[in-house]
Amino acid sequence: MDSPRVMVLTGCASGIGRHLVGALAARGHRVVATDIDEARLAECEKADGWPEERVRRQGLDVRSEADWEAALDAAEPWGGADVVLNVAGYLKPAWVQDIAVGDIDLHLDINVKGVVLGTRAAARRMLARGRGHIVNIGSLASLAPVPGLGLYSASKFAVRGFSLAADTELRPRGVPVSLVMPDAVQTPMLDLQVDYEEAALTFSGSRPLTVEDLAAVILDEVLPKRPLEITVPLARGAAARLANTLPAASRLLAPFLAKKGKKAQEGRKRAGR
């Protein structure tokens, strides 16, 4: 088993972050579990039975520099954060002409500014110790722009660009940055997209990943091997990379994929999601 480390996670009151807290604690790691919704975070702790000797709750608005410092301070009694996982994210489907100004701010502030602030704050402390690992959660939308999810795609493209640049700076100094780019994952973020025609492409894969699928990749591949970037699953990742290389050609596939995704959306609606 991987030797126990101290982890700081964001977005732990739901979805991927919530599952990772329990999975990491079960492997003996110590976790500072953070979220902006502190009440919901406390409910998750109780419902999931997070062990109090290995999990600490901490409120964190990822857009706040002060909150980031407080979250990292919470790991100091354990010796400081060995790993910071930027998981928190925001998504709201919309056609370009219908984008709300507030959603521009939320996508860029949470998905981009939050990752930048977290990476910066973690890097400062990790560089001082000469070790550490930063893991940023991107998306296949970091590679292939998704019509109907233009803001989300833009934010995840930014996460990828920043993560690659940060790794080039930090890895030679003992602090690698890994970018994880999953396909759609079965979380509340996916559920909210079912009723949006704009989000049809999200459902064009064979099946959504589960939080267990993604946790297995993070625990067994990303944390021990510290890759620069990884797509999940690999086949859809290869397709996304091709779309990134040939955007004009990929545009021709979008209607086919949207039709396939819309059919899957309808099936999920009939099944009650």
**Active site residue: 50, 68, 90, 152, which one?**
152
Element (H, E) at 53: none
CA-angle at 187, arms to 123 and 224, nearest 5°: 40
- Judged by DSSP in three states, 160 sits in helix
Place of tokens 């397709």: 239
Outline where DSSP puts E strands in the chain: 6-9, 30-35, 55-59, 83-86, 133-137, 177-182, 229-232
Q: How far apart are CA 46 and CA 64, in angstroms?
A: 26
> What is the token pair recorded at 74?
């919470």
- Contact call for residues 103 and 58 (beta carbons, < 8 A): no
- Contact call for residues 57 and 51 (beta carbons, < 8 A): no
| Residue 152 designated active-site | yes
Backbone angles phi, psi at 74, to 5 degrees: -65, -20
Residue 256 backbone zone (phi > 0: left; psi -120 to 50: alpha; other: beta): alpha
Q: How far is CA 143 from CA 18, 46, 111, 180, in A?
A: 25, 37, 15, 12
Q: What residues act catalytically?
A: 152
